[in-house]
């Protein structure tokens, strides 16, 4: 894929719509700017959709599910069988993200990007690039061809979602061991030591955390991912889920669709997308603050600020889905609230 060509084809945000949205906000009968970053997000939606009246009435969360060979090194609290078990419940809308999405009229779309176990469920979208990645502490996690395949699949899928009428997409993931790949990708792209990017994931002890960082350091030392080549980084120390979400961000920008970042794993994918196609950042909406150390580093790099800080660390896209009803409420203020002119000012 020619990412430079793709980036050049992505439209900049519509300045006329941005200016009109700011002007409209200033007319709402409340202290100017008093909804802070929420106002900025609605304004950004206007620029993305190229209108002063944005529409997010049809929305979905795409959950990218995959397994990671590095789990053989004991970097996670649970074994990889949990990925398939939880993916099945996500597809049935019985997991956390399903319960939350139902409350805000958001569709849950489950994609198998390469789990160890292939599930017999027609509701799961087949984007499989393999039966899990290889163990990155021994060699490359995947081939470059597999990474390119997943990005292409995701880009095409977003085009289909737009054709089906979706106005906004939230990202989510499921995959045991994916905070390990996330830490490796972040360290490689930002030129940092794994100690600076690695967190405990779901409950690792101090000894477990030290082992996890050591495995990531070993993977980087063995594979020598090129910092200035995101595809090289992804293929050597990434995960199928991260690669797939990278493609979702690129596809969203190509199609003029706003896309919500969830936690640290989807943030790492956002960083990869921004390195491949810088204009993709214009289409990203950050949702919540992750406690993982890599998250703040990525947000600072992307110059994005999440609006929620609830100590969430669940995954599945739950944080991204939490942003949707907040956007709905903010849009209601933007659209329906009395204006200063109504008050005679």
Known catalytic residues are: 316
Query: 227, 134 in Cβ contact below 8 A?
Result: no
Q: What is the distance between the alpha carbons of residues 148 and 129, in angstroms, rounded to a whole number? A: 10
Q: How many residues are present in the chain? A: 345
Render the burial of 166-194: b for 16+ CB within 10 Å, e for the rest: bbbbbbbbbbbbbbbbbbbbbbbbbebeb
What SS3 state is found at 24? helix
DSSP state of 117: S
Cα–Cα separations (whole angstroms), residue 287 to 68, 100, 299, 318: 25, 15, 11, 10
- DSSP E strands in the chain: the ranges are 59-66, 106-114, 125-126, 168-174, 259-261, 284-286
Euclidean distance between CA atoms 305 and 283, whole angstroms? 14
H/E run at residue 132: none
Which two three-digit tokens encode residue 324? 């949707």
CA gap 195, 183 in Å, rounded: 9
Query: What is the number of H-type helices and E-type strands within the chain?
Result: 14, 6
């Amino acid at each position: 894929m020619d990412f430079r060509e793709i980036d050049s084809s992505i439209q900049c945000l519509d300045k006329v719509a941005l200016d009109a949205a700011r002007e409209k906000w200033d007319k709402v009968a409340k202290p100017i700017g008093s909804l802070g970053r929420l106002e900025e997000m609605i304004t950004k939606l206007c620029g993305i959709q190229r209108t002063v009246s944005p529409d997010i009435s049809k929305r979905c969360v795409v959950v990218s599910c995959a397994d990671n060979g590095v789990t053989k090194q004991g970097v996670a609290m649970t074994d990889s069988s949990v990925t398939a078990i939880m993916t099945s419940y996500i597809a049935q809308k019985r997991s956390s993200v399903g319960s939350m999405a139902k409350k805000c009229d958001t569709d849950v779309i489950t994609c198998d990007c390469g789990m160890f176990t292939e599930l017999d469920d027609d509701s799961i979208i087949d984007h499989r690039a393999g039966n899990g990645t290889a163990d990155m502490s021994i060699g490359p996690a995947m081939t470059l061809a597999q990474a390119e395949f997943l990005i292409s699949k995701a880009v095409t899928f977003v085009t289909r979602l737009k054709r089906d009428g979706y106005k906004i997409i939230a990202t989510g993931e499921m995959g045991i061991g994916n905070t390990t790949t996330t830490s490796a990708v972040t360290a490689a792209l930002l030129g940092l030591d794994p100690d600076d990017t690695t967190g405990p994931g779901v409950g690792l002890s101090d000894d477990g955390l030290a082992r996890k960082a050591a495995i990531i350091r070993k993977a980087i030392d063995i594979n020598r991912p090129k910092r200035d080549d995101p595809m090289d980084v992804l293929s050597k120390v990434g995960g199928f889920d991260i690669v797939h979400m990278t493609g979702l961000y690129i596809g969203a920008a190509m199609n003029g669709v706003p896309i919500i970042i969830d936690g640290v794993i989807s943030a790492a994918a956002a960083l990869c997308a921004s390195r491949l196609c810088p204009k993709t950042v214009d289409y990203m909406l950050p949702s919540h603050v992750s406690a993982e150390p890599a998250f703040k580093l990525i947000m600072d790099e992307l110059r994005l600020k999440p609006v929620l800080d609830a100590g969430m660390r669940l995954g599945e896209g739950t944080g991204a889905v939490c942003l949707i009803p907040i956007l709905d409420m903010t849009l209601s203020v933007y659209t329906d609230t009395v204006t200063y002119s109504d008050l005679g000012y």
